[in-house]
Amino acid sequence: MKVGLSYDLRDDYLAQGLTEEETAEFDRRDTVDSIDWTLQDLGYKTDRIGNIKSLTSRLADGDRWDMVFNIAEGLRGFGREAQVPALLEAYDIPYTFSDPLVLSLSLHKAMAKHVMRDIGVPTADFVLIEREADIETVDLTFPLFAKPVGEGTGKGINAASKIKTRSDLMSVCCNLLKTYKQPVLVETFLPGREFTVGIVGSAEESRAIGTMEVILNPDAERDVYSYVNKERCEALVTYRLASDLAAKQAEAASLAAWKGLGCRDAGRIDLRLDANGMPKVMELNPLAGLHPQHSDLCIIADKVGMTYRSLIEAIMESALKRNGLGVAPLASFQGVALKAFAANLQGMTT
C-alpha cells in the first residue's frame, strides 16, 4: 500500500522569514522522519508529499496514493487545517485523522464550545470578542481567561491571559485583537488541575488511552499552559498519569466531545477543573502533534506502555477500517528502515 505524507515543515517557513511563534504548530524534520520510518516498518511504501502547494502540484501531475497520512496544519485562516483533507476528498483519496468540518470547527474554539455546550459536554462560560466595543459588554465573573480564538500550541497565551480586572480585560483583549487579527475568546477562568486525554479510534470504537496531568514547575509562567511553557516543557512542566475520579470524569467528558463532534483516528482533548472540582473541556486537538518525545499524545502513549510504533499502527488501522480498506500490511522487521528509525529515536533530544 502506497501512503503519502502531507505536512508543513517548520524549517521551510522559517526560511521564508516567518517567526518562531508563527511556525510553532508546524512539524520538525525528525517528526516527519519518525512517522515515515515507522510506516515503512509497518510494511507501507511511503512517499513524502509535503505541504498543500506540493500536494496540489503532485495531484496536477497525476500522482495518487492509497492513503495519505496527513499532519499538515496549514498557514492561514480558520480552515487552514481543513485545506489538505478537502483537496484529498476532491480527488477521492483517503487520509488519516478528522475531516474538513471537524478540523475547521475545532480550530475556532468558540464555535466548538457552542457545539459542545449544545450536546451537553461541560465547558466554561464564554463570550467572543470580535471588536473593541464588545469588551464593554462582557458579563462574566472574574477572574477570566483570554486567548486568540483560532490558534494552537499556546500561541497568544502568557501570564497576562489570566485577567482579574476590567481594565486588564480591555488591555489584554485589545492587544490580542491587534496582534493576531482575529477574535478573542474570553472564558471564566478554571482554577483547578489541568489534564490532557489521549484518544485513539473513531466513532464508537474510540477509546481513551490515558489521562495526563499537566503540572507547572516553579519557574514556569503561573496558572497558564502558555506558549513559553509548552516550548520549554522539558524544564518548565511536569507530566504525570492520573487515574483518580477527576481523571476518569475528564476521560468521560473527552470521549463525549470526541464522539459528539465526529473526531477520528487519534488526538487529544484538553480540560481543566472548575472551582467545584468538575472537569470542563477547553479545547479539542483532532490533529495532535506526533513527535515521539515532545508531543503530548506521544508522551501519554509512552507513559501507558504504548510504543510509538503501536500508536502509528493504531492510527492507520482506524483510518483503514473506516475507509473500508481492510487490515494493515504485515510489518517487515528487516531492512534499513527499522534500523534508521531506531537510530533516529536514540539520537533525538526531547
In this predicted structure, what is the pLDDT of residue 342? 45
What domains can you pick out in the chain, each with its CATH number? 2-97+328-347 (3.40.50), 124-188 (3.30.1490.20)
Residue 166's pLDDT is what? 97
- pLDDT per 10-residue tile (average), the chain, 350 residues: 97 93 92 98 98 98 98 95 98 98 97 98 98 96 97 89 97 97 97 98 97 94 85 90 98 98 98 97 96 94 98 98 79 42 46
Residues 6+ apart with CB under 8 A from 55: 6, 49, 72, 84, 87, 88
Q: What is the model's pTM? A: 0.91
279 upstream amide cis, omega within 30 of 0: no
C-alpha cell at 211: 489521562
Q: What cell was used for 54? A: 506540493
Under DSSP, the state recorded for 201 is S
Query: Quick one: pLDDT at residue 276?
Result: 97
Instruction: Compute the distance between CA of residue 313 and CA of residue 77 in angstroms, rounded to an integer.
Output: 31
Name the CA radius of gyration of the chain, rounded: 20
Q: What is the DSSP string of 67-134?
A: EEEE----SSSTTGGGHHHHHHHHTT--BSS--HHHHHHHHSHHHHHHHHHHTT-----EEEE-SHHH
In this structure, the number of other CB atoms found within 10 A of the CB of residue 348 comes to 16
pLDDT computed for residue 44 by the predictor: 97
Give the pLDDT confidence of 270-305 residue by residue, as tens digits: 999 999 999 999 999 999 999 999 899 999 999 999
Query: How many Å is the maximal CA-CA distance in the chain?
Result: 65
Q: What pLDDT does residue 330 have?
A: 54
